[in-house]
């Protein structure tokens, strides 16, 4: 599933093509994805100017005066800006037609989702969609640091990795990037969250920021279906130190990396370097 760097890569790729454009129409080739597509999407969005393309956690929002189209890529979704006469394929479920400059071809924002675990929902102006309520701070924002993590973790017996993947604690730090940040910080994902010191949380927060920034700069991590809006793969997978490397030599000490399941997610760490 695309994680925060993949979604941020998508946002940055789409924003120059969408911001300032007016929506000429919406074509829905099916009534639902993961959930039914609200009628407001087709009724309210046409005629609106897209003022901004935002990301909140792993959701993208196309903001207009009437409200925001709320999108999630799910496990296999992608968003591309294409010429309007590009024939739709089997899994091209939604087209959002865009205004154009004089002399330029008509274009559409096309939402493709083979597995249909993504979503297209509507957030009325001045309201907050239920999916966005109760979310923790953005890991690249000002509200996220070691002091915050230390305060939130007190008394928590849950494994550190599960704590960091709790969207109520911090958003968007999925399995790949938690594994990489904890490896870089030298902290075991199996340690109880409430037994990690303030100093170690400062290191963890700094490594989360660093690993996410590097992944965004490299276009995310290509796993299975993800591609950026321009069709290019992400290259961060070539730099992974822990994720997906269970049983292979640790890049620091050479010992075999350990692997186990934490919260039904594959977890890899070095029993020697991460304590």
Task: Determine which one of 12, 24, 34, 265 is catalytic.
Answer: 265
**Spatial contact of 209 and 177, defined as CB atoms under 8 Å apart:** no
Is residue 3 part of the annotated active site? The answer reads: yes
Alpha-carbon distance values, 235 to 5, 11, 199, 216 (Å): 11, 17, 31, 10
**Spatial contact of 68 and 38, defined as CB atoms under 8 Å apart:** no
Concatenate the DSSP letters of all residues of the chain into one string. Answer: ---HHHHHHHHHHHHHHHTTPBEEEEEESSSBSSSBPPHHHHHHSTT-B--EEEEETTEEEEE-SSEEEEEE-TTT-EEEEEETTSPP-TTEEEEEEE---TTSPPEEEEEE-SS---EEEEEETT---GGGTT----TTSTT-SHHHHHHHHTT--SBHHHHHT-TTTSSS--HHHHHHHHHHHT--TTSBGGGS-HHHHHHHHHHHHHHHHHHHHTT-B--TT---TTSPPPBGGGG-SSTT-TTSBPTTT-PBPEEEEETTEEEEE-TTT--
Is residue 58 part of the annotated active site? The answer reads: yes
Task: Determine which one of 3, 8, 138, 180 is catalytic.
Answer: 3
Task: Determine which one of 11, 21, 55, 58 is catalytic.
Answer: 58
Catalytic residues: 2-3, 58, 265
């Amino acid at each position: 599933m695309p994680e925060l760097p993949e979604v941020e890569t998508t946002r940055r790729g789409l924003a120059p093509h969408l911001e300032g454009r007016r929506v000429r129409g919406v074509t829905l080739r099916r009534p639902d994805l993961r959930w039914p597509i609200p009628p407001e999407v087709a009724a309210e969005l046409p005629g609106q100017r897209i003022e901004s393309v935002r990301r909140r956690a792993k959701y993208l929002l196309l903001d207009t005066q009437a409200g925001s189209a709320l999108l999630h890529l799910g496990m296999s979704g992608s968003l591309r800006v294409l010429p309007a006469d590009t024939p739709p394929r089997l899994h091209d479920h939604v087209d959002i037609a865009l205004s154009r400059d004089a002399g330029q071809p008509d274009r559409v924002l096309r939402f493709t989702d083979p597995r249909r675990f993504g979503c297209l929902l509507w957030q009325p102006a001045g309201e907050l969609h239920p999916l966005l309520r109760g979310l923790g701070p953005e890991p690249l924002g000002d509200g996220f640091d070691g002091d915050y993590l230390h305060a939130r973790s007190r008394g928590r017996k849950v494994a550190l990795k599960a704590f960091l993947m709790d969207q109520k604690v911090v958003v968007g730090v999925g399995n790949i990037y938690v594994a990489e940040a904890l490896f870089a910080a030298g902290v075991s994902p199996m340690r109880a969250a409430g037994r990690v010191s303030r100093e170690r949380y400062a290191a963890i927060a700094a490594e989360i920021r660093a690993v996410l920034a590097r992944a965004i700069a490299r276009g995310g991590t290509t796993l299975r279906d993800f591609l950026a809006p321009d069709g290019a793969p992400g290259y961060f997978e070539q730099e992974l130190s822990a994720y997906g490397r269970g049983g292979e030599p640790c890049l620091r000490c050479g010992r075999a990396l350990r692997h186990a399941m934490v919260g039904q997610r594959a977890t890899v760490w070095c029993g020697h370097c991460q304590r």
